[in-house]
Amino acid sequence: MRIVILGTGAGGGLPQWNCGCPNCGRARDGLIPAMSQSGIAVSANGRDWALINASPDLRGQLQATPALAPQALRGTPIRSVLVSNGDIDHVAGLLTLREGQGFDLFATKAIHAVLAENPMLSALDARLVRRAEVALDQPFELAPGLTACLFAVPGKVPLYLEGETVETGLIGEQTVGVELTANGRRACYVPGCAEVPDWLKQRLAGCDALLFDGTLWTDDEMIRAGLGAKTGRRMGHVPVSGADGSMAALAGLALGQRIFVHLNNSNPLVDPGSPERALARAEGWQVGHDGLEITP
């Protein structure tokens, strides 16, 4: 199995267009690596690929990934696209895939309903793009030789659908993790997760690679930095650090590679020279970067 991290950043990316925070400034100056928005590409055979999440940066991500280039006058090695929630950073890139190309679009029923409400996405010609509903915990063929299985993780509805009260620990079809299996190997991709209960740990245990929500280092870092009014948990993202963070929760688990993805620009982990990055490394965690390829 090959997994390419197309984009390591959370919504907004690094640098974010309207952000003058120290991390965004350093990324703008080329002092730390920029991060495009969240998504990966996966293949079991190196010829047929699936995208998981289609970020607004997808066009540049495809251009930067030779394996995803067309092999014919018109065509693509991308057989399918799977979205793990309805957030803009995970679905806006679908509009980039509208040029009369066939592929399968996989999502849960709830997320397909959200996509169906958006008339702009009818630009994906229904005669070419097959919208396939996937039930939780039912393995299916995502691309030749590549099996995926969606599982619920604590999360919430997309930001643009939030009502007056928001439940951030919803367990259902709105936010899912993706288990990928091919050639006897198993990887899990969980770019958004509001908490790490024991049942989720059991679901992740033993995988050869875990790509996990690294949005924020501390729950209130955006508030303290003057960048926003919300905590990470309110945004549906468990923080990395602290006694109740993801690193502590996953510490005892038997896992192969552990990689943080979906990093917000406020997260000190985006700076390769930060003490937080050294701490994470000491705990066995790697921080993803755009273009990183792993073979779980």
Residues that bind Mn ion (CB under 5 A): 10-11, 87, 89
- Is residue 19 within 8 Å of 12, Cβ to Cβ? yes
How many Å is the Cα radius of gyration of the chain? 18
Residue 21's binding partner, choosing from ligand MLT, Mn ion, Zn ion, none, with beta-carbon cut-off 5 to 8 A by kind? Answer: Zn ion
Closest to 49 measured CA to CA, from 145, 190, 137, 191: 145
In the complex, the smallest distance separating the C-beta of residue 15 from Mn ion, rounded to whole angstroms, is: 16
In the complex, the smallest distance separating the C-beta of residue 154 from ligand MLT, rounded to whole angstroms, is: 13
In the complex, the smallest distance separating the C-beta of residue 205 from Mn ion, rounded to whole angstroms, is: 25
Q: Round to whole Å and give the CA distance between 197 and 244.
A: 10
In the complex, the smallest distance separating the C-beta of residue 16 from Zn ion, rounded to whole angstroms, is: 5
Q: Round to whole Å and give the CA distance between 198 and 188.
A: 16
Binders in 100-139 for Zn ion, by CB under 5 A:
none
Q: Round to whole Å and give the CA distance between 84 and 90.
A: 7
Per-residue binder mask for Zn ion (CB under 5 A), 262-291, x = binder: ---x--------------------------
Per-residue binder mask for ligand MLT (CB under 6 A), 229-268, x = binder: ------xx--------------------------------
Q: Round to whole Å and give the CA distance between 53 and 90.
A: 5
Residue 181's binding partner, choosing from ligand MLT, Zn ion, Mn ion, none, with beta-carbon cut-off 5 to 8 A by kind? Answer: none
Closest to 41 measured CA to CA, from 92, 80, 97, 94: 80
Binders in 4-23 for Zn ion, by CB under 5 A:
19, 21
- Is residue 150 within 8 Å of 125, Cβ to Cβ? no
Q: Which residues make up the interface to ligand MLT (CB under 6 A)?
A: 10-11, 87-89, 159, 192, 235-236
